[in-house]
Amino acid sequence: MSQYTTVTQVKTKTIIDLQKMKQSGQKITSLTAYDATFAALIDRAGIDVLLVGDSLGMVVQGHSSTLPVSMQDMLYHTQIVSRGSQQAFIIADLPFMSNATPIQAAQNAALLIQQGGAKMVKLEGARIENIEFMVRQGIPVCAHLGLLPQSIYQLGKYAVQGKDANAAENILADALQVEQAGAQVLILECVPAALAQQISAQLSIPVIGIGAGVDCDGQVLVVYDMLGISLGKIPRFTKNYMQQVDSIFEAIQAYVQEVKECQFPLAEHSF
């Protein structure tokens, strides 16, 4: 008998896996993570995507918005999340004013990938030139449309986007443009479910929703929101999974199962 023990290699999810899930109609599950312990716990529950979100500015740092979050903050949190994760696909946010130009976006994205361990970076808005430039450098990009937290001072409040016909048409047009520019994933935040359904159907890339209805290709929530421990008001589009289980791990498992079985979000969590 061999003195050596065979170690099972854990396969890390790739963008190809997410694309196959889109094509087969299998829902993609995602949660935010900000540290190694939560990352390991969420990863072990079978989540597909870990999002290192600049939402950490609000739920971890205690700010009133995501705007104070720096590149140093994002790099640090991406590094510790990547240490805790084994199989999930890791996406990291480019924070406010870290992608004002294509070159700046690419340089900061490189930091999150080379030093942080991210597999993809996310940027808010239809920044077509930035997306195209990063894609040409081999950087995987996730676009983010709908409610854009980094633009909160322009918006004035956190509110559903795309409610009227013109606004909906603009978001759909932006979605088609970011896909054409080379984005491989799109996150849609706080848009009407009917609009999200239309966008998900028209795009060939995975569309992950947050407050965007059940017909997106996947769902993402802020982990503190779905555990009912966020400091502020819990958004309508989330659900407190700790109310029905005895542990954080079981709550995450319940979320994964409900997303996979199209039991979350329900109409009460949608617009």
Active site residues: 189
3-state secondary structure the chain: CCCCCCCCCCCCCCHHHHHHHHHHCCCEEEEECCCHHHHHHHHHCCCCEEEECCCHHHHCCCCCCCCCCCHHHHHHHHHHHHHHCCCCEEEEECCCCCCCCHHHHHHHHHHHHHCCCCCEEEEECCCHHHHHHHHHCCCCEEEEEECCHHHHHHHCCCCCCCCCHHHHHHHHHHHHHHHHHCCCEEEEECCCHHHHHHHHHHCCCCEEEECCCCCCCEEEECHHHHCCCCCCCCCCCCCCHHHCCCCHHHHHHHHHHHHHCCCCCCHHHCC
Note the residue count of the chain: 271
Closest C-alpha to 211, from 251, 168, 268, 171: 268
Give dist(CA 125, CA 148) in Å, integer: 7
